[in-house]
């Protein structure tokens, strides 16, 4: 039997700034925090550009949050990462730097920085443990994003070391869920395949185009499960090392495509586009540290895909290509 860990940080009554609250992760976190006895504060992009240092410092000084979650980032799938290196490196470096340093200035007590499983070397031993960080060469398609996220981890460690601040980092595996980006050029694989499968269903026929060979393996976590893990970590974790957040198993891209067409309710021929990149051959996290603390995901991949497809039908399908 796993014993519930002792609470090390109480969220009750705290002012929590969720940076990036309109994104898939930030919005899931806002939904999850609604059941905690805390005050959530947010800033829309039109009100605050997180890439502007002086603006962020001024906003933080006025708002004085107790807790900050760095869920704001420039994100995207394999093609966006590979073709927009400046956006993925520059934007993410400045956003995290501005948020972390301004948090120190205004006395933020707890900060949670969010990274990604692409921080690990392309050929890291699987499943990837936290100590695989900086042991080998990165995957070229997302090295820009990875370097920015590794820098964020190091910033949190540096602020812990120099200022004794309780700034922690979580590294989620590949994510999907509500408010994902369904644009076919810039999205991740689940949103893309759901949108493409839905278009086939609407047209009444066609092949499902899958980028790459279909052989890469990926682990997928439902965004609402991630949000639950983040609340758990804010409460129960205070350490220098980042913490992996995954589900513990993975599927091939072909298996994912087969599951998605079943969820959408069609049976098209799959066509693999070998001119598109495969990326990392496998990215399965070892989430043993988090599981050992007592947290587990609740949503199976099939259930999560069904919920995400239902959300897509309600929100995004009408405006899609």
Question: Can you give the binding site for ligand GFB, defined by CB under 6 A?
Answer: 77-78, 81, 116, 118, 141-142, 145, 174, 187-189, 192-193, 210-212, 216, 218, 253, 276-280
Q: In sequence order, what DSSP letters do the residues of 165-224 get, joined into one string?
A: -EEEEEEE-EEE-TT----TTTS-HHHHHHHHHHHHHHHT--PEEEES-S--EE-EEEHH
Residue least distant from ligand GFB (Cβ)? 77
Minimum distance between the CB of residue 141 and ligand GFB, rounded to whole angstroms? 6
Work out whether strand 217-218 and strand 251-252 pair parallel, antiparallel, or are unpaired: antiparallel
For the chain, the maximum distance between any two Cα atoms, rounded to a whole number of angstroms, is: 61
Q: Can you tell me the distance from the alpha carbon of 254 to that of 277, in angstroms, rounded to the nearest whole number?
A: 14
CB 60 within 8 A of CB 106: yes
Nearer to ligand GFB, 145 or 179 (CB): 145
Choice between 20 and 212, CB closer to ligand GFB: 212
Question: In what helix (H) or strand (E) does residue 73 lie, and over which residues does it extend?
Answer: none
Stretch (H or E) spanning 244: strand 243-245
CB 180 within 8 A of CB 187: yes
Closer Cβ to ligand GFB, 156 or 256, answer by number: 256
**Is 145 assigned a catalytic role?**
yes
Residue 96 and residue 151 in contact, taking contact as beta carbons nearer than 8 Å:
yes
Classify strands 243-245 and 166-172 as parallel, antiparallel or unpaired. Answer: parallel
Handedness of CA 211, 216, 217, 218 (dihedral sign): negative
Least separation in angstroms between residue 30's CB and ligand GFB is 21
Q: How far is the CB of 253 from ligand GFB (least distance, A)?
A: 5
Residue 199 CB neighbours (<10 A)? 16
Region of 212 (left: φ > 0; alpha: ψ -120 to 50; beta: rest) is: left
Give the nearest distance from C-beta 287 to ligand GFB in angstroms. 15
DSSP conformation class of 95: H
Nearest to 74 by CA among 53, 48, 104, 95: 95
> What CA–CA distance (Å, rounded) separates 196 from 183?
10
145, 159, 237, 309: the active-site residue: 145
Provide, rounded to whole angstroms, the least separation between the CB of residue 184 and ligand GFB.
6
Indicate which residues carry an active-site annotation.
Answer: 145
């Amino acid at each position: 039997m796993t014993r519930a860990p002792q609470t090390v940080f109480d969220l009750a009554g705290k002012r929590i700034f969720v940076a990036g609250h309109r994104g898939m992760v930030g919005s899931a976190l806002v939904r999850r925090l609604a059941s905690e006895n805390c005050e959530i504060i947010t800033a829309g992009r039109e009100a605050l550009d997180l890439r502007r240092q002086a603006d962020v410092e001024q906003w933080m000084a006025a708002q004085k949050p107790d807790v900050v979650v760095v869920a704001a980032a420039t994100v995207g799938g394999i093609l966006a990462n590979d073709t927009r290196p400046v956006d993925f490196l520059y934007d993410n470096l400045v956003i995290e730097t501005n948020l972390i340093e301004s948090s120190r200035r205004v006395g933020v007590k707890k900060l949670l920085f969010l990274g990604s499983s692409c921080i690990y070397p392309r050929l890291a031993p699987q499943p990837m443990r936290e100590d695989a960080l900086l042991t080998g060469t990165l995957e070229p398609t997302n090295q820009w994003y990875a370097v920015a996220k590794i820098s964020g981890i190091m910033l949190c460690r540096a602020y812990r070391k120099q200022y004794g601040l309780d700034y922690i980092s979580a590294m989620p595996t590949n994510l999907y869920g509500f408010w994902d980006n369904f644009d076919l050029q810039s999205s991740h694989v689940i949103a893309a395949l759901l949108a493409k499968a839905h278009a086939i269903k609407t047209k009444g026929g066609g092949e499902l185009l899958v980028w790459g060979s279909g052989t890469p393996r990926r682990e997928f976590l439902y965004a609402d499960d991630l949000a639950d893990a983040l609340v758990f970590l804010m409460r129960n974790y205070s350490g220098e090392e980042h913490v992996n957040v995954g589900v513990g198993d993975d599927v091939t891209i072909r298996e994912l495509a087969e599951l998605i067409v079943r969820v959408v309710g069609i049976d098209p021929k799959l066509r693999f586009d070998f001119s598109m990149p495969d990326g990392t051959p496998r990215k399965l996290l070892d989430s043993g540290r988090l599981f050992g603390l007592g947290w587990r995901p609740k949503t199976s991949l099939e259930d999560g895909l069904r919920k995400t497809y239902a959300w897509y039908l309600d929100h995004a399908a009408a405006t899609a290509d």
